[in-house]
Amino acid sequence: MKTYSSVEEMREEYARIRARLERPAHAIVESLPQRISLPPAEPKAPEVWRMEVIKLEQKPEIYKTKIWWHEVIDVVEEEVGIAAFDFMGPRRNQHLLQARLLVYALAADCCTHLSLAAIGRLANKDHTTIMHGAPKGRLHPSYEKLKTALLSRLSPPSGDPELGEIGGG
């Protein structure tokens, strides 16, 4: 650590550091040879940029092929009336455990793009916990209703009505 003999010396050092931090961008441009000329950068107009963003945000989803983990959590949260923070936590109360097992079963059956290991990582559990908990979650009285509700969110690709539901049933 550097020590200063006076406040003035400290202020001068601070001014040198600040000048060094502000200078490098200008120093690089000034040090280029005169024969190299860089073309001036043409900034995009802000209105054009905003229009591109709006176009991307308003792009309709043609069809939905996947049920995501957060959708399963939201559906179970609404059904059981308990916050996801509580039923996905470490507690082992019976009503919290039943909600957690219901999540495992719905995720294993509806999130076909996720392996049991991936579901376990999302739930902060081992894949064997999901493997053994999912069959118990299928016994929950609301399981079939919630599974149907989740799978109804899927839609077949437009133009091919014979495909039906994607992701199985």
Domain residue spans in the chain? 69-163
When pLDDT is cut at 50, 70 and 90, the band that residue 128 belongs to is very high
Residue 67 contacts residue 151 (beta carbons within 8 Å): yes
Judged against a pLDDT cut of 80, whether residue 148 lies above it is answered with yes
Q: What is the mean pLDDT of residues 53-79?
A: 76
Which H/E stretch holds residue 98?
helix 94-110
Q: Which amino acid is at 33?
A: P
Judged against a pLDDT cut of 80, whether residue 58 lies above it is answered with no
Q: Which amino acid is at 93?
A: N
Largest CA distance in the chain: 85
91: its two tokens: 């507690």
pTM of the full predicted structure?
A: 0.58
In the three-class reduction of DSSP (H, G, I as helix; E, B as strand; rest coil), residue 14 is classed as: helix
Q: What was the pLDDT predicted at 129?
A: 95
Q: What was the pLDDT predicted at 166?
A: 47
Task: Name the superfamily (CATH) of residues 69-163.
Answer: DnaA protein, C-terminal DNA-binding domain (1.10.1750.10)
